[in-house]
Structure formats: structure tokens, C-alpha cells
Chains A and B, each alone.
Chain A
Amino acid sequence: MLSIRNLQASVNDEPILKGIDLEVNAGEVHAIMGPNGSGKSTLANVLAGRENYTVTGGEVIYQGKDLLALAPEDRAREGVFLAFQYPVEIPGVSNIYLLKAALNAIRKHRGEPELDAIDFLELVKGKIALVEMREELLYRSVNEGFSGGEKKRNEILQMAVLEPRLAILDETDSGLDIDALQAVASGVNALRSQERAIILVTHYQRLLNYIEPDHVHVLAEGRIMKSGDKGLAHELERQGYGWITQPAAGTSP
């Protein structure tokens, strides 16, 4: 589904990604871990097409298409979803209005008819249970006055409604208490499917106790230093990142 080959990118002329290679197949969950500043969030943002992230080399093929050639809104419409590390507030725009506008933009792109208000509400009410979110939040302005946990649940709700092919969750676990973490994780688990790939970007192994990854990659200094199965995450939990990022001193961390 997603092939990243020798991807290089810089922010403000500073190289951050220095040659990423990654293969993600439909149905898989990949965890991308790494120390702060390793380029994890940059990778997520480059895939989503954020400005100010300049691709300087390599290629990304998504469902047979050159992902990097697509405008960010077209990537979204083609099924790439980014759950934001810091979801933004949009005053005066109700949550449900955004959800409906987004879903209909995507449906239109696929040549499907737009959903009317009644069908849409039914759909959303089914999805909201997945993330244990209060229905009242649907009618509030997007993320305005939401707690940290509510914002992250809202991201997963959007993901549930938009049903992406490729979901990238950028530090979705950061700042969450254990209840919110469980709710978010169960939402994500409910969305695991054979048609969908999920990339979890995270600093901590904690999230992986709830969402079990098929593959774990360690990103450091703009490169994937090590890949493995979920055992690698446990290894990192015990030993930290030092033994990977500083191979010379790796024998005695």
C-alpha cells in the first residue's frame, strides 16, 4: 500500500529525514518509535503534505500513485489521514459540521453521493460510541475548550467517520491519562482491518500495550536504524534508545 524509498526532507533548509525506507502493507500496524528530534513527526507531516516540509529526495508510492505529487487535500481524499499531535481549535465551526463537510468532500472525490443530515447523524452516532466520546462535543466548536483527552478522542472519531486507507497517528498517546489512552486505543483497534494500514508514531512503548503493532521501527537521526516485531518495543522500554542511536557505545548502555 505504501512504499517509502530513500525519502529525504528538510525543514527551513535543515535536513531532518536522511533516507527513509519503509514498506507498509494493507492490514498492518507499524509503530515508528524514536527519541525526540529524530524526525518521527516530520515523516508524518511529509506524508500528509504539510507546507514548510520540503522533500529533497526519494519517493513515496501510495496505492500505485506518486503520493508526493498529490496536493494535501487530494491525499486526504485518497484515504490518507493524519491524527494530529496537537489538534487545533476552530472557533465557531461545530465539530459535526466539519465532520460532515470532510466526509462529503471525500465521498464526492470517490464519485459517491453526499450524505444528507439525517443519514450522516446516524453514521456519526454509531462511530462516537467507539471512542466513548460525549455526544455533546459534536455540537461544540472544533476542539474548543476540549480537554487533552477529548481532543485525541475527537481525532479518532474523525478517523472512524472518514474511514481512511492509511491512518497516521502522530503521538496520539502524548498527554493522555490511562482512561483516555484506553479509549483511544480501543477506538483504533476497532478500526484495524485488512483494507487499512496504520502507522503509529510514538515516543513511548506504553501505547503499544494497547495497540499491538505488527512491526516496530526505530527512527533516529533521520534514518530507520532498526526494525523488528513488537519485541523490539519492549527492548526499547528496558534499554532506552541509546543502544541503537549510539552503536559504538551500544554494548554497555
Chain B
Amino acid sequence: MATADQKIDALIKRDYQAGFVTELEADAVPAGLDEGTIRVISAKKNEPAFMLAWRLRAYRHWLTMTTPQWAHVHYPPIDYQDIVYYSAPKSGKDGPTSLDEVDPKLLETYEKLGIPLKEQEMLAGVAVDAVFDSVSVATTFKEKLGELGIVFCSFSEAVREHPALVEQYLGSVVPHTDNFYAALNSAVFSDGSFVYVPKGVRCPMELSTYFRINASNTGQFERTLIIAEEGAYVSYLEGCTAPMRDENQLHAAVVELVALKDAQIKYSTVQNWYPGDEEGRGGIYNFVTKRGACRGANAKISWTQVETGSAITWKYPSVILEADNSVGEFYSVALTNNRQQADTGTKMVHIGSNTRSTIISKGISAGRGQNTYRGLVKILKGAENARNYTQCDSLLMGDQCGAHTFPYIEVKNPTAKVEHEATTSKISEDQLFYLIQRGLSAEDAVSMIVNGFCKAVFKELPMEFAVEAQKLLGISLEGAVG
């Protein structure tokens, strides 16, 4: 087995392929955080009064909170006064209205990442709301969606154009008091995406946002809110990469999903932020709060995530199953290599009767990576006939990594059915040799085995994302996929 480990070790040592920095003038406020900073952010974004008041409430609450210590991750304390809380690329005061007005350097960056906007517009039928640092620079397909009454825009725009919707739903799933990072985000969030799908409308295309962190030492505080009215359907894709940087970058996003009666929201993420070098220097800290609420009967929320990046991931996309017959799903692939640490999982809170949840978690640990699944299945007293199925599989590559599983199950109703399965396995030398003997390179053999391990999750991803996810996993593990 030692030789197989060495081989895998050699394969997984690869450089981050998206590591570069675009030279753009950043319109940034100085580092540090106080009420003044928040007022500046709010003013720069021309926000209505309710928004500033909400931010300030969150900030004052945040001051009373302390950093959570329970996650299985280790890092030096973060100096929150040393972070720049707002930066926007300078591309004219009012922002571009079409791609022609977008800074060509910015477009170049996207092309290096393999996501040329122009091609995407024409090809995949994907509407892209691209976030570069903290401000949206291009929104496509907006008009087409507008004809159906669908709103898909930057969060800042939503605050200005649809203040009533924002005021009604913002913080209704993740209150500003929820946790340390959510409170911080609520105080200083810069931008993000907003989606509103009206009653009975099925969104005809995948909505997609590419996030990218660029300016040095800029914390990114994305805020996303998706609302699906009665009978509506929407599939949302989120994908991220970040350029190479020396200092750790904090990312604390909040995503809120609201699904009303018979509505369905599918939220897919492929996350590939800079994980740091082999010693873990310079990687992104990704402390995210993602939560959806099934507010009406038969509502359904699915989270699918492929996490390959970041130095530290702290993330638990959850579903609150408030209404009867509502359904929550969580499909996750988390890969940690070198010194990456991931503490991720989900919370399924069953409140309504006949609520169902499914959790499929695949953790891959390589190098000195530490991978933790942490999940809560909570069946409240009134949740008659609630059901949960949980499957947690861990794959270890090499002998210096770790996989940990912390399932929490709280059942207050005796009619509940809760199942939990967990496995831990290693890529065996037998499997590798079998594939190599059939003519595959060692790299392709590892990639094939890992992708097979993740199949149950990948099949939940939209087609174009599934391909990207397989590629990413390949890149993250060995540099090339056949």
C-alpha cells in the first residue's frame, strides 16, 4: 500500500490553475470596521434607510458575539480591523449596461478562467450575473427573464428596485443574530445575487453567478436571496475561483432561499477558491451560512455542492422544513488536499408533517487534508411521519489525511424514520493497477475512481456543471483528466 500512497501523493501535487491577479484600480474604503464604515458602504450603494438600519442592528449584535470554536478547523485568529470591507472595480460611476462597457481586463480574467461571458451568453442559455470583487459588472438575459416576471439582478440593484421584497424576506431565513459570520455579513455585505420567481413560473434557464475574489485583503461578504413563489421553479448555479494571494482572505457569505407552496429551488455550487500552497499559506477562509426555508406545503429545496477549494471551509447548507410534505435535499462532494480543512454538512429541521430529507455526503481527503462531515437531523414534536436518509462516505488518499463524521440526530416525534449510513474507504492499489493494466494512465485511473465515488452527487448537478465538477476534481487531484 505504501507505494500506491506515494503514487497518489505524487499525483495530487499540482499548482492552482486559476492563480493570477488582474491589475484593476480598486475603489476601496480603508481597512477597519466601525459604524462609520457601515454608513460609508450603505451610502456608496445609495441604499434606502431601512437597509442602513438593518446593517447597524446586525453590527451592534455582532459586537456582542464571539467566534465559534466548535468546528474541527484550526487557524490563527482573524483581525477584523485589518480587513477592507468594500472595494469595487472602477468601471465608470454608474456601472456598465452591456459587455462592451466592461473593462476589457476584466473580460480577459474571465477568459483565463474559461468562462468567456460572450460565449456563455450565446451558448449554454445561461444568464450570468458575474461578481468581480463586490460589485456586479454584467447581467445578461435580464430582459428575457423580465418578460416572465422573473427578477435576476445584483443584490444592490434589488435593494434599489425591489425594496419591498428585500425588506420582507431579507433575514427571514438567516436572521442577523444567527451566528458570528452571518451577523458580520449582515452588517457589511457588499453585493450578491437576487432572484425572484413569481407564482406559477418555471424559470426556463439555469441562473448562474461566477464569484471571484480579487483585490488584496478584501473580505468578501456576498448576500444572496432567492424567492420562489407558489408553484415556481428555479435552478441556480454558483461557481467560484480566486487568484493567488499571499494573505488569507476571509469570505463570509449568506444565502437565503425561500420556497412557498409547491415551489422548488435547486441550488448548485462548484467552489474552487484558492486553497493555499502546500503548506496552506494564503488560502481563502470560507465561512458561509446557507439556509433555505420550505414555507408552503410540498415545497422542495435541494442543495448540491462540490467543494474543492479554500484553505478552510465552514459551511452547512440547510433546509427548514416548515410546511407539510416539504422536501429537503443535500448532496455534497468535499475534497481536501495538502493542508486544506473542511468542516461541512447540513441541517435538516423537520417541523411539518410528512416532511422528507435526504443527505448524501462524499468526503475526499488527500495529502494532509482534514475533512469533516457535520450534520444535524432534527425532527420536532409536530413533525408526524417525518423521514430522513443520510449517507456519509469518506475516501482517503494517502496516510496523512483525515476524515471525521459528526452526525447529530434529535428526534422528538416517535413516528419518525431516520436512517444513517457511513463508510470510510481508501483507493486501493488493486483498483489502480486494474485500471492501469487496461491502458489508463495513473492520473486518469485516480480520477476515474474518485469520480465514480462522487457519482451519486454529480448526477444531481445540471449537465454543464457536472462536466465542470468532474474537471475540477481532476485538476484538484492531479492536473489533468482523460
Determine if A101 is an interface residue (Cβ-Cβ < 8 Å). yes
B450 nearest CB across to chain A (Å): 9
Most B C-beta atoms less than 10 A away, residue of A52, A77, A93, A103: A93
Determine if B456 is an interface residue (Cβ-Cβ < 8 Å). yes
The reply to whether A73 and B442 form a contact with Cβ atoms under 8 Å apart is yes
Please tell me the size bucket of the interface on B: 20 to 34
Determine if B216 is an interface residue (Cβ-Cβ < 8 Å). no
Determine if A61 is an interface residue (Cβ-Cβ < 8 Å). no
Determine if B464 is an interface residue (Cβ-Cβ < 8 Å). no
Please report the C-alpha to C-alpha distance between residue A117 and residue B362 in the assembled complex, in whole angstroms: 29
Q: List 13 A-B contacts (CB under 8 A).
A: A50-B433, A51-B3, A51-B429, A52-B429, A73-B437, A81-B437, A84-B434, A87-B434, A93-B448, A93-B451, A98-B438, A105-B441, A158-B438
The reply to whether A101 and B440 form a contact with Cβ atoms under 8 Å apart is yes
A86 nearest CB across to chain B (Å): 8
Determine if B92 is an interface residue (Cβ-Cβ < 8 Å). no
Determine if B453 is an interface residue (Cβ-Cβ < 8 Å). yes
Contact string against A for B residues 420-458, beta-carbon threshold 8 Å, 1 for contact and 0 otherwise: 000000001111011111111110100011011111100
The reply to whether A102 and B440 form a contact with Cβ atoms under 8 Å apart is yes
The reply to whether B429 and A76 form a contact with Cβ atoms under 8 Å apart is no
Please, which residues of chain A bring their CB within 8 A of the CB of B3?
A: 51-52
Please report the C-alpha to C-alpha distance between residue A91 and residue B449 in the assembled complex, in whole angstroms: 8
Please report the C-alpha to C-alpha distance between residue A76 and residue B4 in the assembled complex, in whole angstroms: 19
**Interface size of A by Cβ–Cβ distance < 8 Å?**
30
Please report the C-alpha to C-alpha distance between residue A101 and residue B436 in the assembled complex, in whole angstroms: 11
A119 nearest CB across to chain B (Å): 18
Determine if A109 is an interface residue (Cβ-Cβ < 8 Å). yes
Determine if B77 is an interface residue (Cβ-Cβ < 8 Å). no
Please, which residues of chain B bring their CB within 8 A of the CB of A183?
A: none
B7 nearest CB across to chain A (Å): 8
Determine if B482 is an interface residue (Cβ-Cβ < 8 Å). yes
A192 nearest CB across to chain B (Å): 21
The reply to whether B455 and A92 form a contact with Cβ atoms under 8 Å apart is yes
Given A51-B4, A101-B444, A101-B482, are A88 and B439 neighbors across the interface (CB < 8 Å)? Answer: no
Please, which residues of chain B bring their CB within 8 A of the CB of A185?
A: none
- Which A-B residue pairs are the 9 nearest by beta carbons? A92-B452, A92-B455, A93-B452, A102-B438, A105-B439, A76-B439, A106-B439, A88-B430, A51-B3
Q: Identify A88's interface contact among B431, B440, B442, CB under 8 A.
A: B431
Please report the C-alpha to C-alpha distance between residue A87 and residue B435 in the assembled complex, in whole angstroms: 11
Please, which residues of chain B bring their CB within 8 A of the CB of A77?
A: 439
A159 nearest CB across to chain B (Å): 10
For A48, the closest partner residue in chain B by CB is B437
For B441, the closest partner residue in chain A by CB is A73
Please, which residues of chain A bring their CB within 8 A of the CB of B4?
A: 51
Given A90-B449, A92-B453, A109-B439, are A72 and B444 neighbors across the interface (CB < 8 Å)? Answer: no
Please, which residues of chain B bring their CB within 8 A of the CB of A90?
A: 431, 434-435, 448-449, 452
Q: Identify B438's interface contact among A49, A50, A76, CB under 8 A.
A: A76
The reply to whether B444 and A51 form a contact with Cβ atoms under 8 Å apart is no
The reply to whether A73 and B440 form a contact with Cβ atoms under 8 Å apart is yes
Most B C-beta atoms less than 10 A away, residue of A51, A76, A98: A51
Most A C-beta atoms less than 10 A away, residue of B3, B4, B440, B444: B440
The reply to whether B444 and A76 form a contact with Cβ atoms under 8 Å apart is no
Please report the C-alpha to C-alpha distance between residue A202 and residue B112 in the assembled complex, in whole angstroms: 56
The reply to whether B439 and A92 form a contact with Cβ atoms under 8 Å apart is no
A20 nearest CB across to chain B (Å): 20
Please report the C-alpha to C-alpha distance between residue A91 and residue B448 in the assembled complex, in whole angstroms: 10
The reply to whether B448 and A101 form a contact with Cβ atoms under 8 Å apart is yes
For B393, the closest partner residue in chain A by CB is A91
Given A88-B434, A90-B431, are A102 and B439 neighbors across the interface (CB < 8 Å)? Answer: yes
Determine if A3 is an interface residue (Cβ-Cβ < 8 Å). no
Determine if A180 is an interface residue (Cβ-Cβ < 8 Å). no
Determine if A162 is an interface residue (Cβ-Cβ < 8 Å). yes
For B450, the closest partner residue in chain A by CB is A92
Please, which residues of chain A bring their CB within 8 A of the CB of B455?
A: 91-93
Please, which residues of chain A bring their CB within 8 A of the CB of B442?
A: 73
Q: Identify B451's interface contact among A48, A73, A92, A106, CB under 8 A.
A: A92
For A73, the closest partner residue in chain B by CB is B436
Please, which residues of chain B bring their CB within 8 A of the CB of A73?
A: 436-437, 439-442
For B6, the closest partner residue in chain A by CB is A51
Determine if A82 is an interface residue (Cβ-Cβ < 8 Å). yes
A116 nearest CB across to chain B (Å): 16
For A87, the closest partner residue in chain B by CB is B434
Please, which residues of chain B bring their CB within 8 A of the CB of A162?
A: 438-439
A110 nearest CB across to chain B (Å): 11
Please, which residues of chain A bring their CB within 8 A of the CB of B431?
A: 88, 90
Please, which residues of chain B bring their CB within 8 A of the CB of A105?
A: 438-441, 444, 482
Q: Identify A141's interface contact among B429, B444, B452, CB under 8 A.
A: B452
Please, which residues of chain B bring their CB within 8 A of the CB of A103?
A: 439
Please, which residues of chain A bring their CB within 8 A of the CB of B435?
A: 90, 98, 102
Contact string against B for A residues 127-161, beta-carbon threshold 8 Å, 1 for contact and 0 otherwise: 00000000000000100000000000000001000
For B452, the closest partner residue in chain A by CB is A92
Known: A101-B444, A102-B440, A105-B444. 6 other contacts (CB 8 A): A76-B438, A84-B434, A88-B430, A90-B434, A93-B455, A102-B435
Most A C-beta atoms less than 10 A away, residue of B434, B439, B441, B454: B439
Most A C-beta atoms less than 10 A away, residue of B435, B438, B444, B448: B438
